[in-house]
A and B are shown apart, each in its own frame.
Chain A
Amino acid sequence: MSDWRPSASIEQLKRRAELLAQARAFFAGRDVIEVQTPVIAKDSVTEPDVQSIEVPGYGYLQTSPEYQMKRLLAAGMPSCYQLGPAFRHGEQGRLHNPEFTMLEWYRLGFDHNQLMCEVADLVDTLLGPKPYQRLTYEDVVGKSEGRPRDALDLAFAEACERLTPGRFFITDYPADQAALARINPDRQTAARFELVIDGIEIANGYWELLDADEHRQRFKTDKEIRRQRGLPEMAVDEVFLAALEHGLPECAGVAMGFDRLVMLGVGAKALSDVTAFRGS
């Protein structure tokens, strides 16, 4: 007989509903507007380590609402958040699911330090207050120069797992791991941060890069890495670049894995314990 029952208990799903409501109330109290952008779009990200799920004839399921939310910001939308599904091809495990719930928000006029404070406020609201420690990327894995990127990624992942228990903000990522964060004045590090709670990566945020040409340059580098690794070719999202050329306001943004946060909130060990059904 097929197993039709939910992978989470009804009790945990009720708790999840409470956390969703609390998160929305948190943003309502700070005048951060909820927005909804399409889950399917013509283009997706060029990032070599994030794979998109193609929807033939339509485009791609979005790996995050980042580009579309930034288009809203460029068009005059004030600080806003989105709480909805995001999709990543091939990510499956205790802490991964190809479809997951992402909470992403952008704050006009904030830098990454101000945004980290707000991330901590939200987590305190949802999980209860606890102290936060701040570490640099170098504190976590040591010097990154000259080390191959794959070895560094594994060392970082394993070092984060050992940051347990507790809440840690990791800052000052190497400039070549800036993603879409701006580069710090030292030219070596990026204004990017991550939140790790009890060894689990929860959020990733930037003081957002604004320069359209710099974006184009980074996408070109992504595409070159994709080509070298034999990964599917991804077109650059020209619509997103057009919005950047029009002008993205000064802002900081962050994406949070909401399912993982719920998992920590209810003391579960796997994502499937807090999602209605296990991913396929």
Chain B
Amino acid sequence: MAGSGYKGANIDDVDHFLKGGGIDSEREQAIGQHIGYRYDVNLLPDYDRLTPFLRDYIEFMGWDDLNWLEDVHMGYDDGQAAVFDRNINGWVAIPEDMELPDNQQDRDMIAREMLIKFQMSPDHPMVDLYKAYRKF
């Protein structure tokens, strides 16, 4: 169905991009490079799968739900699980030794939790950018 999933192939295996890098279509094989999203950007969160950390984060921010994190999913970069950090315009790789759940919804919750931990860290690149470029 249009718009419901990844373009280029029907992905039934949650580990598809971890196993093969996602070079599926004829075009992708021709250029040797996967093109397109490595996850379904339209996948809505299943709130039954919220982690305790995310519940605490939501409460801290004064929100009633995941808010901007609804758009965060676990993606796959170079055959490795990763989450895209919009604040650095790059992928943050999930530790290779982390055992991933067997479904995308639970993986997305992990990705959300790890992204918060990364963005709020004093080591995050935005800390230096803020010092250098803040306007007010």
> Is chain B found bound to chain A in the same assembly?
no
Question: Could you tell me which B residues sit within 8 Å of A by CB distance?
Answer: none
Question: Could you tell me which A residues sit within 8 Å of B by CB distance?
Answer: none
